[in-house]
Amino acid sequence: MQIDGNPVLVTGGGSGLGAATARHFAGLGASVAILDYNLEGARALADEIGGMAIQADVSDQAAVGAAFDAATAHFGSAPRIAVNCAGIGMAARIVGREGKLSFDVFEKTLRVNLFGTYNVMSHAAKRMAELTPLEDSERGVIINTASVAFEDGQLGQAAYAASKGAIASMCLPAARELARSGIRVMAIAPGLFHTPMMEGLPEEVAAEITANIPFPARLGQAREFALLAEQIATNRFLNGTTIRLDGAVRLPPR
Ligand code: NAD
């Protein structure tokens, strides 16, 4: 899928990996809609890149539908590329200290990360399927964000790993289903990236994390995520799989 001149919708585009992707795709000539529930972040970036900011919770079906309608009206075409970056990373033990259970964390994490991704993917696919087919009969590309925790979830990451594992698992059936509409579905599983999500970690935890990254021995840069998203968008033979982007890191148990 050519990026230049096409409408793109990026969720979680108000911060971190989503913001870098929105900025990068705008630099390549795309018209970018930034969907985030943090309207302030989305607006600031939209002003910078000449895009459109939309406030919505990715797990809200009506709000996401309205967001796609607004982007379609604004750009004169439904988005050809949808990048799902909205997500949360809450840590909790299954049975915490003093027997505290964490069903609430599990439910919230699955709701935003998994149901949100599924919701955006379904709204994107429905509209992409109605677009004119381009080269190779391609109509659209959906890029979801998993995490290396889909394979090496750490202690306290049962909810997060479950949400990201499901994002990775649904990639192939989604690609198989949407193939007849000329829509590709891919997922990126980032390792440890320098974003506001990671900035929240205590310094010693961040240093320990970096020490586990073989090469390059540093956190990933959000731009490196955006470069892979560009490659996925433009390389039509990439479909139905999850790519780890992680400097060869394998997360230890804790
Ligand atoms: P971030 O916190 O910087 O950005 C996430 C954005 O998503 C924020 O702008 C936030 O407002 C938005 N968001 C959260 N919940 C939302 C909701 N319900 N509806 C709409 N918007 C919502 O995080 P990031 O580091 O850029 O992470 C982006 C994605 O990458 C997440 O899915 C995260 O799990 C994944 N990831 C990040 C890392 C990392 O190291 N940073 C590693 C692996 C995976």
| Structural tokens at position 67 | 């967001």
Helices (H), 5-152: 16-27, 39-49, 61-75, 103-109, 116-128, 149-152
Range of the domain at 226: 7-245
With respect to residue 1, please indicate whether it lies within any of the assigned structural domains: no
Is residue 89 within 6 Å of ligand 1 at its C-beta?
yes
Alpha carbon distances (Å) from 175 to 56, 81, 150, 232: 25, 14, 19, 13
Ligand 1 centre distance from Cα of residue 135 (Å): 32
| Atom of ligand 1 lying closest to residue 38 CA | 11
With respect to residue 238, please indicate whether it lies within any of the assigned structural domains: yes
With respect to residue 195, please indicate whether it lies within any of the assigned structural domains: yes
Please check the confidence at residue 28 and state whether its pLDDT lies above 90. Answer: yes
With respect to residue 252, please indicate whether it lies within any of the assigned structural domains: no
Amino acid sitting at position 46:
A
Task: Name the catalytic one among 37, 75, 160, 225.
Answer: 160
CA nearest neighbour of 50 among 34, 65, 39, 67: 34
Q: Is 12 left (phi over 0), alpha (psi -120 to 50) or beta?
A: left
pTM above threshold 0.85: yes
Ligand 1 centre distance from Cα of residue 134 (Å): 31
With respect to residue 250, please indicate whether it lies within any of the assigned structural domains: no
Ligand 1 centre distance from Cα of residue 133 (Å): 31
Report the domain count for the chain: 1
With respect to residue 65, please indicate whether it lies within any of the assigned structural domains: yes
CA nearest neighbour of 56 among 105, 156, 123, 128: 123
With respect to residue 2, please indicate whether it lies within any of the assigned structural domains: no
With respect to residue 115, please indicate whether it lies within any of the assigned structural domains: yes
- Summarised one tens digit per residue, pLDDT across range 127-163 is 999 999 999 999 999 999 999 999 999 999 999 999 9
CATH number at residue 116: 3.40.50.720
The protein residue with its alpha carbon nearest to ligand 1, atom 34, reads 87
